[in-house]
Structures are given as C-alpha cells and as structure tokens.
Amino acid sequence: MNRLKVEFAGLKLKNPVMPAAGPPIKDGSAAVAAAKGGAGAIVTKTISTEAAQVPRQNMAQIKGGFLNTELWAEQSPEHWLEHEYPIVKETGLPIIVGLGYSAEQIEALARKVAPFADALELSTHYLGDDPSPVVAAIKAAKKAVDLPVFVKLSPQIDIKLFATAAQDAGADGLVLINSLGPCLDIDIETGKSFMGSTTGYGWMSGPAILPVALRAVYEAYKHVDIPILGVGGISSGRDAVKMIMAGASAVQVCTAAILEGPGIYGKIAGQIDKFMEERGIESLEEIHGVAHKFQRQEDLQRWEPNISADLCTACGLCAQSCVYHAIEIDEYARVDYDRCVGCGLCITRCKFGAIAPRYND
C-alpha cells in the first residue's frame, strides 16, 4: 500500500492510522498488538508524574458514542520507563510518547522518555480561554528535548486562537480533538450515573463527535502551517478520508479500537487504500486538505435532488423523513420540485447512493 505512505514532522509512516492515547494502548503489549493490527505508528498512553487513580466504573457505551473517565496511565512513569517503553520500542514503528499535564510535569518527564520517543504528544485537557498553559507546556517540552512536539487540544476552545498560539510557541503539530465534555448519562434502573467519578460526569468520544472533530481540524488547517493529526469519532476508512480532506496529515483511533480490537487500524488503512484505488488516487497528498478548495459558492444557487431510477430501491426512507412531503414512492422515488426546498436530508438518508444534488444556475 505505497499510496498510503505519509511523512510529517520528520516521521515516516507506512500508513496514516495510529492509536490515540487511551485504553487501547495501555501498555507495551497493547502497542505490539496495535502494530500487528496494522497501525502506521504508535501513540502511547499519556503518563504524568504520578500514576492515575482511575474511578470505577469509568467506561460506558452510549447511543452514538462512548463515555469515559479513564484518565491517564494507571502505572507510574518509572514503571513505563523500565517495563513498557522498551516493549513499545520493539514494534519498530514511529513512537509518539504521550505526556501530561502541566508544564512542570511535562518538563520533568520529557528528558526521561526521550530515548524511547520519535516525538511527544502533550495533553493538557485545558478548557479555558487563555492559551498560556498550553503555550507553557509546549515551551517546556521544546526546552527539554530536541524532538517534534505535538499538542492535543480540546474542542471547547477558540480553535484559531489556540492553534496559532501553539504554532507560535514552537509546536511541530497539533492533535485535534480531545474527548468532548463533561457529559452525563444515567442508568434508569438505579438513577445513578454510569461514571464512577465524584461528579458522575464523563467525557464523550466515538461517532457522535466526528463532526466536532472535523470542524476543529478544518478550522485549524486554515490558520496554521504545521501538521494536524485528526482524532475523534473515526471508525472507518470513510471517516479517515474526511479527516484528511479537512486537513489532517494522519488520524488516530481510540473508541473503535476499544470496541473492535487492534485489527481496526489495518482495517481502516485498507479501506482508505480501497477508496483511493477505486478513484485512481496515487497519494494521500492528492486529497490532503482538498475540502478547502470547495468554498460553498453553490449555497446561493438553486439545487434539487436528482434520483437515479437504476439505484433507487423504493425503500421509502427519503419520503418518510421529508417534512415538506416532496417525495413520493412509485416504482422508484419521485420528487415534487414545487414542494422541495432543497434541505438535502434525503441525500444523507439514502443508503444506496440513489440521490445526488443537481445544481441549477
């Protein structure tokens, strides 16, 4: 799959799919499993100066997504240095070591992990309006080691402000996004939260946050020149392609790896490759950031749904959800263009690709 090769910040990957820092990459053996599962690089679970005291319960699948209060690594940095990082190193893949959370903690750890790292990923999980803590973390890491430094940002911030501040502070790349929250879900049998934290709140990941992550990557790409790693809700090759089109150089996967296992990395890479092969795309660079080339001038144009009789199965989903009653089902779906307002819902409802936009001048 030569067409999947990608290079950024001095890192060379055989494909653009890697774990996100989290439970699927909890130790060295998990890193080996990720490598065997087809990952193009390894991002290790974030460590801090002390082991995390993880609440129980700390993970729950919810409709459309996933909640967790899983925190950072449950082992000490000394344990990782002695036992886990040497195993991760044996994978032979580029290694991005996750560190958190304050500038002081990151500076204390960066030099120690440097022998095992090809790059660092800083997690601050900062949600304020002032980027100073993020800037301080980047500067602390850059002062400590001569390695590429990526910083992971949360979605509930001013993306332009924080992305440009990170670039100005010397960051070699961005990771967008961290999980979204805090969020809450309740077990109706007990009335209790599914999360074991003192607040009962958790952080949301999974498919539900993909549009949030796409927006963040798209926005950051407009304002910085450093590479972006897209993460948040990716569970298929199509999701990954969207991220790359929005401006990501590579992608990270967490929730899908929890639910489906480490083979998901190779599965997603294979789906990206198939997408490219079917369309004659020879390199990821051809689709990188391509969404920015299509500013929506057509929004001011009149458009209407065009239904392919050959592809339509007359399943009725489009008509069922058309609140304007503009679609009727005969031997195939038919549109009453006098009623149609061009909302576009029918396009995304169709499971067979039978509806496409047709623009009129």
Q: Which of 257, 277, 293 is the last residue of a domain?
A: 293
Q: Are residues 59 and 159 in the same domain?
A: yes
> What is residue 301's predicted lDDT score, i.e. its pLDDT?
60
Q: Are residues 323 and 210 in the same domain?
A: no
d(CA 38, CA 353): 30
Total number of domains constituting the chain:
2
Q: Are residues 65 and 188 in the same domain?
A: yes
Q: Which of 246, 275, 293 is the last residue of a domain?
A: 293
> What is residue 360's predicted lDDT score, i.e. its pLDDT?
67
pTM of the model: 0.92
List the CATH number of the domain containing 325.
Answer: 3.30.70.20
3-state secondary structure 288-339: CCHHHHCCCHHHHCEEEEEECCCCCCCCCHHHHCCCCCCEEECCCEEECCCC
Q: Are residues 112 and 261 in the same domain?
A: yes
Q: Are residues 153 and 260 in the same domain?
A: yes
List the CATH number of the domain containing 174.
Answer: 3.20.20.70
> What is residue 295's predicted lDDT score, i.e. its pLDDT?
65
d(CA 312, CA 62): 32
> What is residue 1's predicted lDDT score, i.e. its pLDDT?
58
> What is residue 246's predicted lDDT score, i.e. its pLDDT?
98
Domain of 303 in residue numbering reads as: 297-360
> What is residue 299's predicted lDDT score, i.e. its pLDDT?
52
Q: Cis before residue 182, ω within 30 degrees of 0?
A: yes
Mean pLDDT, the chain cut into blocks of 10 residues (361 residues total): 92 98 96 98 96 89 92 93 98 97 95 98 88 96 97 95 98 97 94 90 95 98 98 98 98 97 98 97 97 69 84 94 94 93 92 87 55
> What is residue 197's predicted lDDT score, i.e. its pLDDT?
84
Q: Are residues 197 and 267 in the same domain?
A: yes
The answer to whether the beta carbons of residues 26 and 73 sit under 8 Å apart is yes
Q: Are residues 216 and 353 in the same domain?
A: no
Q: Which of 278, 293, 308 is the last residue of a domain?
A: 293
Q: Are residues 171 and 267 in the same domain?
A: yes
Nearest CA to 294 out of 210, 359, 200 is that of 359
Q: Are residues 228 and 329 in the same domain?
A: no
